[in-house]
Amino acid sequence: MSRLYDTTEPNVIDDAMLAIAVEEQGPQEEAGRFAKMEGIDFRDVTQLHLDFKNILKIDNLWQFKNITKLQLDNNIIEKIQGLDTLVHLVWLDLSFNNIETIEGLDALVKLEDLSLYNNRITKVGNLDTLKNLQVLSLGNNNLTSLENLVYLRSFRELRTLNIAGNPICEDEHYKVFIAAHIPQLVYLDFRLIDDNVREIGNAKYQDILEDLLHDEKEAMAKQEEAIRKEKELEMHKAAFVEFLNGPFLFDHMFAEDVEGKKLANLPGAPELMEAYRLRCIEVCQNIFDLGLKEMAKREAEVAAFDECLLEAINENQEKGATLLKEFEERNFDILIELQHIADTTILDAKLAEYNQDISSLSEALMTLEMQLVDQLEEIIKDFERSVAELASVFLEGVQGLMAQNRELENVHHEKLLETAINTLEKVSKGDYDDDLPDNLRLLLVDKDTVINAVGASHDIHLLKIDNREDELVTKVNTWASNLIKKVHADEWHRNRTRVIEIDLYIDHAHEELDNLELHDQP
């Protein structure tokens, strides 16, 4: 029984409305009756019509996980919302509503056709994620800026645009502007764009278009560079040496070093700092290079292991396939023969023989599997040893190089302390005028203050070095542990799957025998 909705009061999208809408769009007559009796799962619905329902707020649509087409036109909707879960939407109609702002569409990355016709929209935007958009209807809105529509230039799949009925259409040159600035368009206001119109537009806005192209090329180059850097960083992370190919560690050591920043104003300190910086960068680069080299070794080891594993499995599977083929060839005629044997003694003997053959096959297949398990266990043990050795060698090299960084820090600490004490003595004797910064003079009051400041700076640097080393060691050990766990888990799953396959085949063979229509005995 249909439910009538009040046309004067706003309606809420509730389960009752949705059920009626789905029922109305579903199968009719006898099929519809059965569907109603059994109930309709909203997850199975791919199209939904909610037009002319006096809906004010989009809500309660999360149940329609697989919907591809949604019709919400001719309502009183003011805000686009509640659509985030409808990630499979391809077609969306929000025409004839009261929408002022384009928003709430970010999750609809598959959307190809969007109608916002006859709303109150003043600006085109917030469509950045809709890269598959092909048709966009914005007619009868409040668009006043042609320049704003240049935003649509980046939507490379856009072929149809409707903006008829907007204030911008009062400009007699708007079609020429659109044709020139959005070159991928084929249809404007549902009419084919004339080549002549496009040529006029290209000539009229030549300088602007050249600037646009230049900016787009620069933006594309920056985007490609950002993508390249992101991929490069991911590779460095896989090698556990991200941000070690430059001054990152050194800069990090001094970033939170308050006392060090004051001490950097000591006479001669900049030279000490630069010498330290160059040597630290050199050591870090050595760690970085070692990381990439060892990653290549790890990848080669994993690839060799996978190849060895696959070779053993394939060889074993071929043997198993041969056993199955021989069994089936051997017993194909016997199954037919059994149906025509009248002599009970002979039949029982043949059945016993066949059952024994099945048992022998089962034993042979299981023996093969156990042989493979033993073989793979040895391969995995060898792999474990190789992984452990690779991790150990890498970490030994890293720890040796990090020790060099600590030694550099110790040498810098000693030189800086010597410089600071010498400066303190000169200040005490009045050898310096007012050319020292005030924050440094506050340290140069006595020897204990100077020693404490230099010591605090030294402790921060050593802590940063230790933390970076600990982080690297932890990641390497975690990688090795997780890799071996996965190998064992994969092998356990493979073995369980194979045993089940064998059991199912043997059960099938027994069932095939049990289901034979044997010759009726008198």
Report whether 20 contacts 50 (CB < 8 A).
no
Inside any domain, residue 3: no
User: Which CA distances in Å does 11 have to 17, 262, 435?
Assistant: 9, 68, 77
Q: Kind and range of the H or E element at 212?
A: helix 206-238
- pTM score, whole prediction: 0.74
What pLDDT does residue 517 have?
62
Please measure the distance between the N-terminal and C-terminal CA atoms of the chain and give it in whole angstroms: 65
> Are 408 and 271 part of one and the same domain?
yes
What pLDDT does residue 17 have?
87
Average confidence (pLDDT) over 424-449: 81
What pLDDT does residue 520 have?
53
Average confidence (pLDDT) over 347-364: 84
Domain's final residue, options 175, 204, 233: 204
Token reading at 417: 């302390």
Inside any domain, residue 39: yes
Domain's final residue, options 204, 234, 262: 204
Confidence of residue 336 (pLDDT cuts 50, 70, 90): low
Helices (H), 339-430: 344-428
What pLDDT does residue 522 have?
43
Confidence of residue 436 (pLDDT cuts 50, 70, 90): confident
> Are 127 and 260 part of one and the same domain?
no
Token reading at 202: 């290209």
Which residue carries 């021989």 as its tokens? 326
Distance CA 56, CA 483 (A): 54
> Are 393 and 449 part of one and the same domain?
yes
What pLDDT does residue 8 have?
59
Using left for φ > 0, alpha for ψ between -120 and 50, and beta otherwise, residue 171 falls in beta
Inside any domain, residue 241: no
Distance CA 200, CA 360 (A): 85
Confidence of residue 400 (pLDDT cuts 50, 70, 90): very high
Domain's final residue, options 179, 204, 229: 204
Closest by alpha carbon to 202, among 218, 185, 220, 182?
182
Inside any domain, residue 225: no
Closest by alpha carbon to 69, among 105, 85, 93?
93
Inside any domain, residue 399: yes
> Are 369 and 483 part of one and the same domain?
yes
- Of the two residues 365 and 515, the one the predictor is more confident about is 365
Average confidence (pLDDT) over 135-150: 96
Residues of the chain above pLDDT 70, percent: 92
> Are 175 and 32 part of one and the same domain?
yes
Is residue 38 pLDDT above 60, yes or no? no
**DSSP letter for each residue of 408-461:** HHHHHHHHHHHHHHHHHHHHHTT---S-S-HHHHTTTT-HHHHHHHHHHHHHHH
Average confidence (pLDDT) over 479-493: 96
What pLDDT does residue 425 have?
87
Confidence of residue 494 (pLDDT cuts 50, 70, 90): very high
Is residue 31 pLDDT above 60, yes or no? no
Is residue 51 pLDDT above 90, yes or no? yes
Token reading at 133: 């958009």
> Are 341 and 449 part of one and the same domain?
yes
Distance CA 87, CA 81 (A): 13
Average confidence (pLDDT) over 223-247: 95
Average confidence (pLDDT) over 224-229: 95
Distance CA 272, CA 263 (A): 11
Its sign, for the CA torsion 289, 291, 294, 298, is negative
Report whether 297 contacts 239 (CB < 8 A).
no
**DSSP letter for each residue of 20-49:** HHHHHHS--HHHHHHHHHH---GGG--EEE
Closest by alpha carbon to 474, among 289, 293, 240?
240
What pLDDT does residue 428 have?
83
Is residue 187 pLDDT above 90, yes or no? yes
> Are 301 and 152 part of one and the same domain?
no
Confidence of residue 332 (pLDDT cuts 50, 70, 90): confident
Is residue 223 pLDDT above 50, yes or no? yes
> Are 258 and 113 part of one and the same domain?
no
The backbone torsions φ and ψ at residue 56, rounded to the nearest 5 degrees and listed phi first, read -95, -35
Strand-strand pairing, 69-71 and 91-93: parallel
Strand partners, 69: 47, 91
Average confidence (pLDDT) over 28-52: 67
Inside any domain, residue 210: no
CATH of the domain at 189: 3.80.10.10
Confidence of residue 339 (pLDDT cuts 50, 70, 90): low
Domain count, the chain: 2
Is residue 34 pLDDT above 50, yes or no? no
Q: Kind and range of the H or E element at 481?
A: helix 447-514
**DSSP letter for each residue of 120-168:** ------S-TT-TT--EEE--SS----TGGGGGGGG-TT--EEE-TTSGG
Closest by alpha carbon to 503, among 329, 362, 321, 322?
362
Range(s) of the domain holding residue 40: 11-204
Averaged pLDDT score across all residues of the chain = 90
- Of the two residues 117 and 330, the one the predictor is more confident about is 117
Is residue 521 pLDDT above 80, yes or no? no
Its sign, for the CA torsion 247, 252, 258, 263, is negative
User: Which CA distances in Å does 2 have to 8, 38, 235?
Assistant: 18, 18, 61
pLDDT one-digit tens code per residue, 89-102? 999 999 999 999 99
Is residue 307 pLDDT above 60, yes or no? yes
> Are 398 and 477 part of one and the same domain?
yes
Average confidence (pLDDT) over 441-467: 93
Residues of the chain above pLDDT 90, percent: 75
> Are 141 and 257 part of one and the same domain?
no
Is residue 158 pLDDT above 60, yes or no? yes
Return the SS3 of 250. helix
> Are 77 and 183 part of one and the same domain?
yes
Inside any domain, residue 433: yes
Average confidence (pLDDT) over 286-310: 97
Q: Which of 23-32, 226-235, 238-247, 319-328 has the lowest mean pLDDT?
A: 23-32
User: Which CA distances in Å does 413 have to 206, 271, 337, 407, 408?
Assistant: 63, 14, 95, 10, 8
What pLDDT does residue 1 have?
29
> Are 194 and 304 part of one and the same domain?
no
Inside any domain, residue 453: yes
Is residue 104 pLDDT above 90, yes or no? yes
Confidence of residue 26 (pLDDT cuts 50, 70, 90): low
Average confidence (pLDDT) over 311-322: 95
Tell me the residue length of the chain: 522
